[in-house]
Structure 1
Amino acid sequence: SGSLTVLRNARRVAAVWLDEAERLVVSGGGARDGGNAGRMLTRELEVDATVADRRALRHRMGCKPFRWYLETVLPFHPPLPNDFQWQHEVGDQAEGETLG
């Protein structure tokens, strides 16, 4: 479906460019589908040759890490949360849903 394609592309961009911040990209579906879409997309990305090719291109071009961007270009941005799971649970509860 169209929404799955958008999610897949967002995961691919995150896998190539966001380094440790990749974990902050919503893994798809969350509590609504038990995370099944996110797990499926994670498995797809593990074997996705385009991700490996794009990571290699990023390395060959000498691109700076995402943390450099946050610290240099966007220094006023709050730091990345250390506990994404906590943030995800709070977000789901704010929408009136609970996990588990």
Structure 2
Amino acid sequence: AFATGVLAWLTLMPMYFLLNVHASRKSSKLHTIPERSRVAMVVTKAPSEPFSVVQRTLEAMLAQDYPHDTWLADEDPSEETVRWCDAHGVLVS
């Protein structure tokens, strides 16, 4: 009886989530960003992460078409990082 209950539980629990996903609907309204909204794209640099990795990420963020502010969150940015960010319009926090 206990094993049957466990098997039923393990079978029915995932079904609950699958049914919820199946029952979800897409919104009928198109959601647009209001004209006066400000968008910020932020990347966080890990202390052990080389700047070349962050630089590629920032360049991809800068290439986006939608107007936005690009930010680098770095606790202790090097002088090279600050110079590169200033030259490319990336804000550093």
**TM-score (norm: length of structure 1):** 0.28
Structure with greater strand percent: 2
**TM-score (norm: length of structure 2):** 0.30
Structure with greater helix percent: 1
Which structure has the larger Rg over C-alpha atoms? 2
